[in-house]
Structure 1
Amino acid sequence: MDVYLYQDEGSAITANSVSPGPIATNLFRHHGLINGLVGLLGKYVMKSIQQGAATTCYVALHPQVEGLSGCYFADSNLSEASSQATDTELARKLWEYSSNLVKT
């Protein structure tokens, strides 16, 4: 998507991908066994909601990230994106598909 945003020269729009990582939430509150396991193990291997939000806040607000676009962030750090995320042909297909979905 980043490639398509830059077609409009002078655009201040940026597009980055952010991974919050595994977060201990109450999404499974209606699934007894899963909720119990997440509650029991989650506190040892999962982030709090605040910790999970930190990367999103960092990318949205930190001056060091200003102007960066087309990047992938995890744990408030610039990270390497997967090969699928950097596949330009796949990106083109996704852009066309998404554009068709929102046409009026």
Structure 2
Amino acid sequence: MNELARHLKDDGLEITANSLHPGAIATNLFRHYSFISGVFGLLGKYIIKNVHQGAATTCYVALHPQVRGMSGRYFADSNTAEPNSQANDPEMARKLWDYSLNLVN
């Protein structure tokens, strides 16, 4: 369970907090870099999602009834997924939480 989800639950709030990876998405971010644009153009149709496909996981996590009540989860390709092992480290989560609080206070 991620740190934000834990804090929300501990505070008795019925708010969910999840994270996701939308995948590599074909956008025009590199339109001014012809080499990168060319490489993505060649490979993109095979390994890069279009904008609608890239938005699918975000929409799924935000709107799908199956996700209602789930919190502290990681999603990829519209499914729960296993995050990097560091994401499950409670000590690292606490340090990131404390660091984030210092940034916004």
Deviation at 1:5, TM superposition (A): 1.7
One-letter code aligned to 1:78: T
Which runs of 5 or more residues in structure 1 are unaligned? Answer: none
Q: Number of paired residues?
A: 102
Distance 1:84 1:4 in 2: 19
Distance 2:56 2:25 in 1: 11
Show structure 1 runs of 4+ deviating over 3 A: none
Which position in structure 2 is the counterpart of 1:68? 70
1:28 counterpart SS class? coil
Structure number with higher helix proportion = 2
Deviation at 1:85, TM superposition (A): 0.6
TM-score, normalisation: structure 2: 0.93
Which position in structure 1 is the counterpart of 2:87? 85
Which position in structure 1 is the counterpart of 2:33? 31
Greater relative contact order, per chain length (Cα 8 Å cut-off, separation 6+): 2
Which position in structure 2 is the counterpart of 1:5? 8
TM-score, normalisation: structure 1: 0.94
2:20 counterpart SS class? strand
Deviation at 1:102, TM superposition (A): 0.6
Distance 2:94 2:23 in 1: 27
1:85 counterpart SS class? helix
Which runs of 5 or more residues in structure 2 are unaligned? Answer: none
Deviation at 1:84, TM superposition (A): 0.6
Deviation at 1:81, TM superposition (A): 1.6
Contact 2:26/2:48 (8 A) holds in 1: yes
More displaced 10-residue stretch of structure 1: 20-29 or 54-63:
20-29
- Superposition RMSD in Å: 0.8
Contact 2:8/2:14 (8 A) holds in 1: no
Residue identity over aligned pairs, in percent, reads 65
